Homo-oligomer: A and B are copies of this chain.
């Protein structure tokens, strides 16, 4: 059996930074070569970053991706790395993109992969299965490929596939079996979700069985707007054995020697191929010397606790949002409560205390412990701590307007928002907002008040999980002999917005351990009222919660809608990544 030394390059590309991403490929290919690798893989759309959304419609962007691919092939050869075949994702197009009606929706753009070898693009593959659910809109952007590319490397037949090709039965993996390949490469831009790693391994095993071949799965890491990619790259044998698996959320070079069956005589039985696909075969090399030196063993990372996984995801997502967008630093309000405390701890873990400003913004309703807990948090984490009382500004509004009730409560939150934005304008910080998913779901926040900010590290974290994260982070610190960042009293106290005397969340909301399960069923699970009641929830509480969620929908869409009169309004029909280094201008 031939042995191939594979290098899975689990790296962190940046959307739009085509040159920087190409440099990443050069640097990591060098590392792979130094480790004696005979085949290197990089993630989906490596050269452009992922997802590129409406950048696909810019001809100049597609042209830049294609030009960068050719240059990269030449540069790798010039670097002395031309003998190492490298699979890399890029953006291709058959023709100019089309979005007009009265034409096939296909726009000509391709989610593509290339094999680079000896200074040339020796093979390409176009993604066959395009995901169009959840965060994916690939039917908008790409036309599917209908050809499986099989490259012969060191006498082994190797099929090239991309991401979603792995998530659906039929298609490339079925064709790969018919084509008799020994190895399938699958390159990914697969965003993190809690417990997704528990799904991936069984999935890769199913496809290995379907293809009757070893699978090398490489995924990117890094934050891109609300997405965070977790890596979790792995190799699984044709028999379903996990051979090696990389850690999540860090760049990693996974090098592993794999024994593979020698290529059979190519037989093109077109009539048997699945899903209307055909096969194209490309010969790179019939034989290779056995890998040199010791046998390369990538190792198998152990799974970590859910809280640790989520914490790493939130830290990486925030760090990359800040750094890829070139923000020097962060500012956030510290109320002494659990949400801002956890957010501050995430921020400090992401960027270090010297890049985080925490501001206590006390009002006449702020309790003594609020200030004390904020100060204690600052002391433990070492962030830049300030105090800015809001009462003089609040009083100026109250003296000049006739306000009462909720208007006065919200006024306080909005004055805090104005102060944080003024600090942002004056000193250059990005403002963090820290409302948790439970609050967002029921609309328990002030529009243009505590919701002010360019990024929310805990927007997808239910309140009950916020508490679990806080406890886990403190315990983890204790285990490592470090200072626990989050004051115990911030974890233990009853949640309060402190916008009126003695106010508690529980005046308005059910207890969070009652609220969260209902919200999880309704929001995450799309359960209806009847389904929630069947699950055992109190009908009166269900009705109260659903009423809050339904009426909160409009608050969440802060970016004001307005009547669209063109085919490219800023809104539904224009979707661009926020974090995006692509620049047209000279």
Docked complex Cα distance between A402 and B423 (Å): 9
Q: A530 → chain B, closest Cβ, in Å? A: 7
- In the complex, the count of this chain's copies comes to 2
Binds B, one of A36-44, A115-123, A266-274, A448-456: A448-456
Interface size class of A (residues with CB under 8 A): 35 or more
Q: Residue A293 at the B interface, CB < 8 A?
A: no
Q: Residue A488 at the B interface, CB < 8 A?
A: no
Docked complex Cα distance between A243 and B544 (Å): 53
Q: Residue A384 at the B interface, CB < 8 A?
A: no
Docked complex Cα distance between A447 and B417 (Å): 11
Q: Which of B395, B561, B572 is within 8 Å of A456, CB to CB? A: B561
A417 touching B585, Cβ below 8 Å: no
Q: A391 → chain B, closest Cβ, in Å? A: 9
Q: Residue A546 at the B interface, CB < 8 A?
A: yes
Given A102-B203, A396-B395: A564 and B228 interface contact (C-beta under 8 Å): yes
Give A220-241 interface residues, CB cut-off 8 Å to B. 223, 225-228
Binds B, one of A180-188, A309-317, A506-514: A309-317
Q: Which residues of B contact A461 (CB under 8 A)?
A: 565
- Residues 568-586 of A, flagged 1 when their CB comes within 8 A of B and 0 if not, give 1111111010101011111
Q: Which residues of B contact A103 (CB under 8 A)?
A: 168
B456 touching A562, Cβ below 8 Å: yes
Q: Which of B199, B393, B410, B570 is within 8 Å of A437, CB to CB? A: B570
Q: Residue A419 at the B interface, CB < 8 A?
A: yes
Q: Which residues of B contact A321 (CB under 8 A)?
A: 561
A458 touching B194, Cβ below 8 Å: no
Q: Which residues of B contact A140 (CB under 8 A)?
A: 132-133, 137
- Residues 505-532 of A, flagged 1 when their CB comes within 8 A of B and 0 if not, give 0000000000000000011101011110
B573 touching A134, Cβ below 8 Å: yes
Q: Which of B325, B389, B453, B529 is within 8 Å of A585, CB to CB? A: B529
B415 touching A418, Cβ below 8 Å: yes
Docked complex Cα distance between A421 and B553 (Å): 18
Q: Residue A292 at the B interface, CB < 8 A?
A: no
- Residues 115-158 of A, flagged 1 when their CB comes within 8 A of B and 0 if not, give 00000000000000001111101011000000000000000000
B223 touching A563, Cβ below 8 Å: yes
- Residues 96-123 of A, flagged 1 when their CB comes within 8 A of B and 0 if not, give 0101011111010000000000000000
Docked complex Cα distance between A140 and B441 (Å): 23
Q: Which of B97, B460, B557, B565 is within 8 Å of A569, CB to CB? A: B460
Binds B, one of A52-60, A71-79, A474-482: A52-60
Which chain B residue has the least Cβ–Cβ distance from A224? Answer: B561
24 contacts between A and B (CB under 8 A): A57-B526, A59-B526, A60-B531, A101-B164, A102-B169, A105-B131, A193-B564, A226-B562, A226-B572, A227-B564, A321-B561, A403-B425, A411-B418, A414-B418, A418-B418, A454-B554, A458-B562, A459-B561, A460-B562, A460-B570, A522-B584, A528-B584, A550-B582, A558-B558
Q: Mark A residues whose CB is within 8 Å of B.
A: 57-61, 97, 99, 101-105, 107, 131-135, 137, 139-140, 164, 167-169, 191-194, 199, 203, 206, 223, 225-228, 310, 313-314, 316-318, 321, 325, 388-389, 392-393, 395-397, 399-407, 410-411, 414-415, 417-419, 421-423, 425-426, 433, 437, 440-441, 447-448, 451-461, 522-524, 526, 528-531, 539, 542-544, 546-547, 550, 553-554, 556-574, 576, 578, 580, 582-586
